[in-house]
Amino acid sequence: MTFVDDNLSIFINPKIVEKSEETNFYKELCLSSGMMSADIERPKWIVMEWMDEEGVTHKEKFDGFLARLYQHEEDHLKGIINLDRACNSIEFALFDPLKEKIRDTRY
């Protein structure tokens, strides 16, 4: 379940079935790790399959912020949190998360 821009979305048994080789970077925050953020490299786009609450199967490509969010949430289903994926640094989130942008390169 995600809540983005006032829209609640439900994904039952989501599965990422394809990922880009190209990656990007973003400092991710998570309720599971409190004030700690982790800079994480992830594929730029994904193709995800899931079922909706009516039992209909969907398959769609996502990029940008949604690709990142769904990868983050799919990790949770496998017991992985942002800190497990930190590629550069784990730090206290003293920055404004609303100003954080997806980057093509490491710092």
Binding residues vs Zn ion (CB under 5 A): 30
Compute the least distance from the CB of residue 67 to Zn ion, in Å: 15
Phi, psi of 27 (to 5 degrees): -85, 110
Classify 40 as helix, strand or coil. strand
Of 34 and 57, the one with the shorter C-beta distance to Zn ion is 34
| 49 belongs to the catalytic site | no
Distance, CA of 13 to CA of 20 (rounded, Å): 21
Of 30 and 36, the one with the shorter C-beta distance to Zn ion is 30
Q: Which of 81, 83, 59, 57 is nearest to 71 (CA)?
A: 81
Compute the least distance from the CB of residue 96 to Zn ion, in Å: 19
Of 73, 74, 91, 100, which residue is the catalytic one?
73
Of 31 and 56, the one with the shorter C-beta distance to Zn ion is 31
Compute the least distance from the CB of residue 56 to Zn ion, in Å: 26
Angle 33-34-40 from CA coordinates, rounded to 5°: 50
Cβ-proximal residue to Zn ion, closest one: 30
Tokens for 54, please give them.
Answer: 């009516």
